[in-house]
Amino acid sequence: MNNSKIETIKQHAKTLKLCSLNENIDIFLKDAELKDSSYQEFLFNILEGEIKAKDKKAQEKRLKMAGFPIKKIIEDFDFNFQKSITKKQVNRLLEMDWIDKVYNLIFLGPPGVGKTHLSIALGYKAVEMGYRVTFTSMDNLIYSLKTQEISRKSKGKVNKIYSSDLVIIDEIGYLPITREEANLFFQLISSLYEQASIIITSNKGFEDWTELLGDPALTTAILDRLTYKCDLFNMTGKSYRLEHRESFLQG
């Protein structure tokens, strides 16, 4: 095939938004020539390439929209150090059918025991499997809820949360919140109830949530919705970060 025809094919592919064909036409042609592919095989490889390219692009978009602060994967989680949750339990969670059934996950425990690592790792896997995920710290969430009427960015963040299959709310309990903020949080949880799965990480046990939220009735209502369909993990032990502290001046 002459170069002018290849360039025309590339232009047609670009017009039709067939990105893989536009970028890889030379590779497809060379591969078909080497393997002496049939027309059917050649067409199949082109279409399969387009699907893979579109899936990859969609996954990259979901990953960007999720807003993870850092990449964490299950393979890096030290189950020998943190024995409060087993590899078998996590592997079961990685199947993600709990999202389909709208179950929640709650990780409680002191700093450094792996709560955020697990929540992000599960979120990453969910993105890979095609779920829409939003990650937010409690502090950023409250700010977005309070300013959504005056900030387009905050409104967009809240809308993204409502359109997610999985919402990860990290670090509940690290900073105090007002009664008004607690009410906004309750409204969010009520709206997400049985509409999306939620992962919560907190350094506070449920017995301390009343003090955190400032209202016993409100606290009961929030916990009632969060724990109705929920797996709870009380994670104990020393801080992984402190135990594996690295020093610039060592060595």
At residue 250, the pLDDT reads: 57
Q: Cα separation of 7 and 24, whole Å? A: 12
At residue 243, the pLDDT reads: 54
Domain for residue 202, yes or no? yes
At residue 22, the pLDDT reads: 83
Domain for residue 66, yes or no? no
Q: Cα separation of 80 and 75, whole Å? A: 12
At residue 175, the pLDDT reads: 85
Domain for residue 247, yes or no? no
Residue 52 to residues 45, 49, 176, 189, Cα–Cα distance (Å): 10, 5, 46, 36
- Mean pLDDT of each 10-residue bin along the chain, 251 residues long: 78 84 85 87 90 90 95 91 90 97 95 93 96 97 97 97 98 90 97 97 93 93 96 78 54 50
Domain for residue 67, yes or no? no
Count CB neighbours of 199 within 10 A.
25
Domain for residue 137, yes or no? yes
Q: Are residues 174 and 213 in the same domain?
A: yes
Q: Which residues pair with residue 159 across a beta bridge?
A: none
Q: Are residues 42 and 107 in the same domain?
A: no
Domain for residue 251, yes or no? no
Q: Are residues 50 and 126 in the same domain?
A: no
At residue 15, the pLDDT reads: 86
Domain for residue 103, yes or no? yes
Provide the number of structural domains found in the chain. Answer: 2
Q: Domain limits at 198?
A: 74-241
Domain for residue 47, yes or no? yes
Q: Name which of 202, 209, 204 is nearest 223 in CA terms.
A: 209
- pTM for the model stands at 0.86
